[in-house]
Structure 1
Amino acid sequence: MKALHVYTKSSLKEVLTNSIELKKGTYVSIHKDEIKDFHILEVEYNLIILENDGITPDCEDFLLNIIKQSKVQVSVIVITDICDFNQKSRLYDMGVMAIMNHNNFEINRFNLYLDTVLKIEETVSELKNIKIAVVDDSRFSLEIIRGFFKRIQSNQVDYFQSADELVTHTKGYDLFIVDLVMPDINGEEIIYRVKQSNPDAIIILITSYSEGRAIQHCLSIGANDFILKPLDFKMFILRIYVSISNYRLHKENAKNSELLYELATKDSLTKVYNRNYFIESLRTKAIEAQRTSLPFSLILLDLDNFKQINDEYGHLKGDVVLIQTSKVLTYKLRESDIICRWGGEEFCMLLPNTTREDAIKVAEKIRAAIEEMHIEGVRPITVSLGVTIWQPDDNDASVFKRLDNSLYLAKLTGKNKVVSNEELIITNNNKPVAVEWGPFFRSGNAQIDTEHQKLIQLSNDIISKCFDDDNYEITLALFEELIDDTVEHFRNEEKTLEQVGYANLQEHKDIHKNLIERTLFMQKGLLSKKLTPIQVAKYVIQDVVIGHIIKSDFDYYDCFR
């Protein structure tokens, strides 16, 4: 911004200088008596500040000369104490931006005018750099518009007298100036076609028809503004400036809205969705599934030993691990899948139109990809994953319980694996696994926890023996011990739950009874060798011990916590 201050008194020079230079503008001042010897038009000023004791005819002539001959869009601020209504009307009609009072000069108001001048300057610069198409069947109108753009030194303008010439080139332009009524194609149709191929284009309609219905329709389908003929330079340029400014404001608002939306829905570190957004998406998908019966599945992922990674390499490296993990997930999943950072080192994924079997395959691909992930200075990373499918009678609590339990079973049986629907896998790469006792299983009641831990240890002993035919008798003996301990545990558990007044005690007793009956049936199959030790081990450990604890016993843990 270049500002010229034509002053009568020096009292405002300092304050104007400070304001203009704070806006990174250039300030030049000259006394009004020296103006005749000052070649004002040799420099392209954006702002003229005319300070005068009164608005005389000489003053008005000076202003007209400046405004008409300036090569740039010059803004004028008049500072005076003597100005009647008629003089104000003439000044505003000439194109003056503002009239301010000298004795009661308001610097904050002046700064607002400076902001407007800067915006105009920015728009002028933008106008010089954008491609413009003008279409009007009148050669006379085209020449007038050509003169307008030449005056503001805008050279990237193409002129069309036929609309047919333009419609095949709509993608190459940023701004369209379109006549409403033409012999071949009307402006309304051009607007429609431009918006189809170039939705971000700015379109200004020019017309000699004051009937508003056609104009209103054009504005509703994408025109940004309209100008009435005969064209006036000041109004023409003003409408272009306003349209570009409004368009820029719209883009900034859209960008800000997008940023606010991202802040509200995305995790700031990994840039995947946050937990709140994920839960809302899950509920929406559940309602949709009721209507369409289309399946969708969920995957919960946890980075193995992540605390050790932070302790060993520092939290900055830990953040890099989280970021890289999110990138792997984004790469491996579809655009329609929803990824969120569930919390800490956990990520949750929603896979629309996906069966449980397909979700397991996806989870395995993710597990393998992260195991192969290389982060400089960090040892190989592994993850454990839980998988489930949304069921018709599910709600948030039930599906996440099943998902969470599946994930914990993966972590408690060796990590770096996928577990689905809380189904314990007693082998990993054809080798027996061990179930790790930990806080996950603790109820808060010392007797129950001791008995659960003993049952899990017995289960691990059975797992380690049942794969070897030579250990058949040992395995059989361990099964008998497990059955005896389970019956005793169920009896003790029921007494304890009765003492604390557990509301679902009868239902829990029925579950125990059913499990014992099925376990004895499996034992008979083992004795008759109709069932193999591995088959019986899978049932007893999955359903009676681990499955019963996480599916039934977890329901009463709140009684002791």
Structure 2
Amino acid sequence: MYTILHIENSDFFKKIFEDIFRKKNINYIFVKTVEDAYKVLDSKKINLILTAIEIPKSNINHFLEELNSNIKYAEIPIFVISGKEELDTRKEVFSFGIVDYILKKTSIFDIVKIIESFINEEEFIKSLKKFKIAVLDDSEVELNIIKDIFKDKKIWNVDYYTKGKELISSSEGYDLYLIDLILQDCSGEEVILNLREKNEKSIIITVSSVTNEKTISHILSIGADDYIIKPYVSDIFMARIRSRVRNYLMIKELIEKLSLNSKEM
């Protein structure tokens, strides 16, 4: 179960957060001091830390620095809740690698939405890291853009191709294909048709600068699951992939359940 450690001197948030997170099947642990926080960190697997900026008998900067310098805690995402709106304070706290700085005037339900959104993104990236991914583009510049996006998310299970025929003839099977439409050695259309014939369940996303609606409609009709237009913002790029991966996993889970039920009958 996903576990959140909350460090806060006041009991104001405790009951509300406890009730909300329990309903979302999230384990919530509340402590008032850094000393107690370390006891929890040493005894339980913590997935996320939510901390007030003002902690009794401790300095937030010192606490964040200690977490970052310890290999056991360095990868735990941290959200800071603060009543201080000064830009310098925010910059200083962000320099310790926190995920977000949330103002106390933000409603509790909005704070939960922010955290829930982050958890969902984490789960998506975790799923994507298990995927075998193929990227086809004959432009090194475009390939490097996608490489940088995946590198930023620490996604390494990606093979990059510059020739369509090489990908078509590859014996490797992939869960996700990102295919450029305009290629030098063959057409993106030919690649998509071949890939869809061999990989009925894989996700195929076309990435192209072609914006013609008839072309987009045609590419989707021959087997592509989505069409991303270049140039794109990395967040939008990942959001489109997220949408397809979510559908893919839901269908996969449904098929597995149906298969299991048929065996039991």
TM-score w.r.t. length of structure 1:
0.36
Aligned: 1:57 with 2:87: yes
Q: Work out the CA distance in 2 between the residues paired with 1:131 and 1:144.
A: 19
Asked whether the equivalents of residues 8 and 51 of structure 1 are also in contact (C-alpha less than 8 Å), the reply is no
Matches within 5 A, 1:124-273: 124-169=125-170, 171-255=172-256, 258=258, 271=265
Q: 2:26 matched to which residue of 1?
A: 23
Which 10-residue stretch deviates more, 244-253 or 127-136?
244-253
CA RMSD of aligned residues (A): 3.8
Asked whether the equivalents of residues 4 and 26 of structure 2 are also in contact (C-alpha less than 8 Å), the reply is no
Amino acid at match of 2:143: L
Greater radius of gyration (CA)? 1
Q: Work out the CA distance in 1 between the residues paired with 2:217 and 2:250.
A: 22
Amino acid at match of 1:36: N
Q: 1:78 matched to which residue of 2?
A: 102
Superposed CA deviations along residues 79-117 of structure 1, whole A, max 9, x for unmatched, are 542xxxxxxxxxxxxxxxxxx41xxx349x93x665554
Q: Work out the CA distance in 2 between the residues paired with 1:189 and 1:65.
A: 48
Post-superposition shift, 1:59?
A: 6.3
Post-superposition shift, 1:170?
A: 6.1
Bigger share in helix = 1
Q: 1:45 matched to which residue of 2?
A: 76
Q: Work out the CA distance in 2 between the residues paired with 1:127 and 1:31.
A: 32
Q: Work out the CA distance in 1 between the residues paired with 2:95 and 2:222.
A: 41
Q: Work out the CA distance in 1 between the residues paired with 2:68 and 2:3.
A: 12
Superposed CA deviations along residues 327-371 of structure 1, whole A, max 9, x for unmatched, are xxxxxxxxxxxxxxxxxxxxxxxxxxxxxxxxxxxxxxxxxxxxx
* 3-state DSSP of counterpart to 1:129: coil
Matches within 5 A, 1:412-491: none
Superposed CA deviations along residues 27-64 of structure 1, whole A, max 9, x for unmatched, are 53443253333236552234x43423365434664687
Superposed CA deviations along residues 188-246 of structure 1, whole A, max 9, x for unmatched, are 32221111001111122212233333223222333222333234333333322222112
Post-superposition shift, 1:127?
A: 1.8
Amino acid at match of 1:149: F
Q: Work out the CA distance in 1 between the residues paired with 2:116 and 2:52.
A: 25
Matches within 5 A, 1:230-379: 230-255=231-256, 258=258, 271=265
Amino acid at match of 1:210: T
* 3-state DSSP of counterpart to 1:124: helix
Asked whether the equivalents of residues 137 and 183 of structure 1 are also in contact (C-alpha less than 8 Å), the reply is yes
* 3-state DSSP of counterpart to 1:176: strand
Amino acid at match of 1:78: I
Amino acid at match of 1:243: R
Asked whether the equivalents of residues 6 and 50 of structure 1 are also in contact (C-alpha less than 8 Å), the reply is no
Amino acid at match of 1:23: I
Superposed CA deviations along residues 119-163 of structure 1, whole A, max 9, x for unmatched, are 433322222222111111110111222222222222221111111
Matches within 5 A, 1:392-403: none
Aligned: 1:35 with 2:65: no
* 3-state DSSP of counterpart to 1:223: coil
Asked whether the equivalents of residues 136 and 161 of structure 2 are also in contact (C-alpha less than 8 Å), the reply is yes
Q: Work out the CA distance in 2 between the residues paired with 1:217 and 1:63.
A: 50
5+ residue gaps, structure 1, are 82-99, 272-561
Q: Cα 1:251–1:27, aligned 2, differ >3 Å: closer, same or farther?
A: closer
5+ residue gaps, structure 2, are 28-45
Asked whether the equivalents of residues 149 and 155 of structure 1 are also in contact (C-alpha less than 8 Å), the reply is yes
* 3-state DSSP of counterpart to 1:178: strand
User: How many aligned positions are there?
Assistant: 234
Q: Work out the CA distance in 1 between the residues paired with 2:242 and 2:104.
A: 28
Q: Work out the CA distance in 1 between the residues paired with 2:85 and 2:181.
A: 42
Q: Work out the CA distance in 2 between the residues paired with 1:259 and 1:116.
A: 32
Q: Work out the CA distance in 1 between the residues paired with 2:94 and 2:213.
A: 34
Amino acid at match of 1:197: K
Q: Cα 1:60–1:190, aligned 2, differ >3 Å: closer, same or farther?
A: farther
Amino acid at match of 1:44: E
Asked whether the equivalents of residues 204 and 226 of structure 1 are also in contact (C-alpha less than 8 Å), the reply is yes
Asked whether the equivalents of residues 134 and 174 of structure 2 are also in contact (C-alpha less than 8 Å), the reply is yes
Q: Cα 1:151–1:30, aligned 2, differ >3 Å: closer, same or farther?
A: same
Q: Work out the CA distance in 1 between the residues paired with 2:171 and 2:117.
A: 32
Q: Work out the CA distance in 1 between the residues paired with 2:171 and 2:162.
A: 15
Q: Cα 1:193–1:8, aligned 2, differ >3 Å: closer, same or farther?
A: farther
Amino acid at match of 2:102: V
Q: Cα 1:65–1:245, aligned 2, differ >3 Å: closer, same or farther?
A: farther
Q: 1:548 matched to which residue of 2?
A: none
Q: Work out the CA distance in 2 between the residues paired with 1:176 and 1:245.
A: 15
Asked whether the equivalents of residues 170 and 197 of structure 1 are also in contact (C-alpha less than 8 Å), the reply is no
* 3-state DSSP of counterpart to 1:173: coil
Asked whether the equivalents of residues 50 and 81 of structure 2 are also in contact (C-alpha less than 8 Å), the reply is no
